[in-house]
Amino acid sequence: MITCVVDYTIDPEQTEAFEAFAREWIRLVNSRGGTHHGYFLPAEGASDKAMALFSFESLAAYEEYRRGFGVDPEFVAADEIRDRSGCVVRYERSFMRPLLA
């Protein structure tokens, strides 16, 4: 299993748009063979930090999912939410492997 951790810097004035963007990506990851563990939004402290965690059974499965970027109409529509609103200032992706009990 591989887990993608996405750290976001968001525009605090565009939180509603970010939530709409996040809901779409949760649905898309889950419908394309992944398991989305959720988005984590600001509550206390910095108001411009957010995070997402989702897993695929392997890096190969993740790469198959990534083939849809820029071509799958649902992926494009989800990214348009981000692009139109400017809710994401920047993001950084890391890959982790879980250590489970």
Write out pLDDT tens, residues 33-52: 999 999 999 888 779 999 99
Residue 100 binned pLDDT confidence (cut-offs 50, 70, 90): confident
Predicted confidence at residue 25, as pLDDT, reads: 97
The burial of 25, by beta-carbon neighbours within 10 Å (0-12 exposed, 13-18 middle, 19 or more buried), is given as buried
Q: Are 21 and 74 in contact (CB under 8 A)?
A: no
Instruction: Tell me which amino acid residue 43 is.
Output: A
Query: Kind of pairing, strands 88-96 and 49-56?
Result: unpaired
- What was the pLDDT predicted at 4? 96
Q: What is the pLDDT of residues 1-41, one digit of tens each?
A: 999 999 999 999 999 999 999 999 999 999 999 999 999 99
| CATH class belonging to 2-96 | alpha beta
- How high is the pLDDT of residue 37? 97
Residues 6+ apart with CB under 8 A from 13: none
pLDDT digits (tens, 9 = 90+) for 50-79: 999 999 999 999 999 999 998 999 999 999
User: What percent of the chain is modeled with pLDDT above 70?
Assistant: 100
